[in-house]
Amino acid sequence: MLGFQLAITFHLAGIIFWLGGLGARLILLNSANAGANEGGRSQLYQLQQKIHLMMEAPAFVVALMAGLFLVHATKVTFNQPWFRAKIALVLGLIAVSLIASRQFKAFNASGRVGQAMGLFAGLVVFTLLTLVAVLTKF
Ligand code: HEM
């Protein structure tokens, strides 16, 4: 029981810092200025990379490890529709993160600014739907 409670604690803490870091990077992406010079672009790129490497990625690993432990502990399977939905939404969140990283690379290389607010809306909607799936277990 203590193992389960600890796993939930690590799972939720991991999710908070993973998605919090992603949200922070998307706000930075939204403030990227198309007219910025190379030095300014590189500064923004390095800042988002620090958030990605120091906060988002380690927190994702913690959330995933604890989530896999919970899969084992609760014996949840893909036969349960809420779990299928949850994993599809988690893949959506991972896609948002990968697209954000690509857009930062493009901004750093050429100054092209992407669709940060669309990605931010995706982050909010996917997070809400994931919580609905896991808390209602429909
Ligand atoms: C990274 C992949 C993930 C995996 C493999 C995973 C797996 C799991 C499992 C198996 C449980 C236990 C369910 C049960 O009590 O029957 C759980 C609990 C939970 N997960 Fe995830 N999860 C993942 C990502 C997420 C994300 C992205 C969110 C939120 C946006 C989330 C929110 C929650 C919450 C709130 C609980 C606690 C539910 C409760 O105690 O009733 N999980 N997760």
Instruction: Give the pLDDT confidence of 60-82 residue by residue, as tens digits.
Output: 999 999 999 999 999 999 999 99
Q: How confident is the model at residue 37 (pLDDT cuts 50, 70, 90)?
A: very high
Considering only CA atoms, which of 9, 12, 29, 10 is closest in space to residue 97? 29
CA of 26 to the centre of ligand 1 (A): 23
pLDDT of residue 34: 84
pLDDT of residue 114: 84
Q: What is the pLDDT of residues 82-94, one digit of tens each?
A: 999 999 999 999 9
Q: How confident is the model at residue 1 (pLDDT cuts 50, 70, 90)?
A: confident
Q: Write the residue with the smallest CA distance to atom 22 of ligand 1.
A: 67
The more confidently predicted of residues 134 and 1 is: 134
Cβ–ligand 1 distance for 97 under 6 Å, the answer no
Mutate to test the pocket of ligand 1, among 1, 8, 11 (most ligand atoms within 8 A of CB): 11
Cβ–ligand 1 distance for 130 under 6 Å, the answer yes
CA of 131 to the centre of ligand 1 (A): 8
Q: Write the residue with the smallest CA distance to atom 20 of ligand 1.
A: 134
| CB-CB neighbours of 80 under 10 Å | 14
pLDDT of residue 83: 98
High-pLDDT (> 90) share of the chain, %: 94
Distance in angstroms (rounded) separating the CA atoms of residues 17 and 15: 6
Considering only CA atoms, which of 74, 67, 80 is closest in space to residue 136? 80
pLDDT of residue 50: 98
Considering only CA atoms, which of 45, 37, 33 is closest in space to residue 113? 33
Average pLDDT, the chain: 97
Please check whether residue 69 is in contact with residue 20, taking contact to mean a CB–CB distance below 8 angstroms. no
